[in-house]
Chain A
Amino acid sequence: MNIVIILLTLAMGVYFIAIVEGWAVHGRISLSRPALSALALFGRESLLVRTPDRLFFEAGPILLLVVGLLAMAVIPLAPGLIITDLATGALFLNAALAYVLVALIMAGWGPNGGYAMIGGWRFLGQFIAYAMLIVMPITAVAMRAESLSTTVIVTSQAQLWNVFYQPIGFVLFVLAAMALAWLPPLDLPNAPGDLAGGFEAEYTGVRLAVLRLARMVIILAMAGAIVTFYLGGWLGPWLPGWLWSIIKMLIVTTAMLTTGRLVPRVREANLLAAGWKLGIPLALANIFLVGVIALVVDI
């Protein structure tokens, strides 16, 4: 029962993301456009390039969608409203998200096209820049909660949300999440206007529809992770818990989709330098600070 509710919520969230992204890109809010463009993609030919690596080509979009849903499975919407309340939820989230890289490299390698391959390799560089900034802030969150279970992590924030307890970790995690979901200004693998679509270049028709759907699920899962780890999950006054989770997730996704577009795209070399020369020292300092606070103060 929980699974059905969460999947339906997820479907509505995906539709909302499509509307917001249309608004951010085209400057118009259109409630029907996502449905129409999905139908249009569905009716179009789904071409296969000349000499593809068929297995990788087909597996890319499917793996991406599976990864997004598995990441979503450990995000709690309310007490008890979660697909699987694993004791190692935060670690499982990490493990699932590592496969985003694999899926994108497969999608880039598969079609045997130049632009797609460049998109795939670029994402590998981007991965090396952001990956540690996903794992290290989560460690600091787990230190405070004394658990890797996502529901325990939420209840550990009853007195003070982690966004105030460890603001450095929050900023790093949000930036890393945007890099993981290749949102602008960190949209190197598909880079609209630069790579002819990057790893998306050779996908058409229903395969492209699955690829785009998977990307939206991943954006939503990252917003869910930010809300769970830093913004107190379902905690909040007056309204029921599930409503709080949904409101927070929608605010986070809207912010992630719209604000990044105001900044020019970051080059891969600059992203790597910023991630390792600034991001990792800050993440280590964050772990140390949280360690000291967790020993001194009892919250």
Chain B
Amino acid sequence: MENSALAQYAILLGLTLGTVGFVFSLYGLARTIGRARLEPGKDVPATAGTLARDPVWVRYHARYYGYALLFLSFDMEMAFMYPWSVVYRQEGLVALLDMGVFLAILFLGLLYGWSQGALRRQ
């Protein structure tokens, strides 16, 4: 690997900035062709031509919140699993047992949540 890690992240930053620049130049080019003409009713969101009766930016009932809470615990667990997976073969059976116990507890949690009705649309 000839590039240092810092140089590689510099390339990624350059890629990001280059993409943003590309999009803005596209927008600029499109604007030179012509601007949007303002006409009545044109700026209404796609709701059959009339303004919506209810506001859109309100609180929603996220009916999958049971899944979402379980998702948090599983997502945390994945943060531990990436370093573990890299050294897994060096550590051998000990690593399998360690993570096996951890995953078994987490899986029991999933089963418990399932039995209590967390895994359905609320």
Contacts and interface: CB of A to CB of B under 8 A. Distances in A.
Contacts, number: 177
A277 to B, nearest CB: 6
Contacts of B56: 112-114, 117
A276 B110 contact: yes
A78 interface: no
B44 A50 contact: yes
B45 A281 contact: no
A49 B89 CA distance: 56
Nearest to A217: B19
B109 to A, nearest CB: 11
Interface residues of B, number: 63
Given A47-B36, A146-B86, A292-B96, A66 B45 contact: no
A124 B68 CA distance: 10
Nearest to B113: A276
A232 to B, nearest CB: 19
Given A3-B15, A66-B19, A46 B47 contact: no
A87 interface: yes
Interface string B48-78: 0001101011001011100110110011001
Binding site secondary structure of chain B: helix
A168 interface: no
Contact of B67 (A129, A202, A295): A129
A79 interface: no
Interface string B1-18: 101010011011001100
A70 interface: yes
A22 interface: no
Interface in A106-143: 109, 111-117, 121, 124-125, 128-129, 131-132, 135-136, 139-140, 142-143
Interface of B: 1, 3, 5, 8-9, 11-12, 15-16, 19-20, 23, 26-27, 29-30, 33-37, 42-47, 51-52, 54, 56-57, 60, 62-64, 67-68, 70-71, 74-75, 78, 81-82, 85-90, 92-93, 96, 99-100, 103, 107, 110, 114, 119-121
Interface of A: 3, 42-43, 45-50, 61-62, 65-66, 69-70, 73, 83-87, 91, 109, 111-117, 121, 124-125, 128-129, 131-132, 135-136, 139-140, 142-143, 146-148, 196-197, 201-202, 205-207, 209-210, 268-269, 272-273, 276-277, 280-281, 284, 287-288, 291-292, 294-295
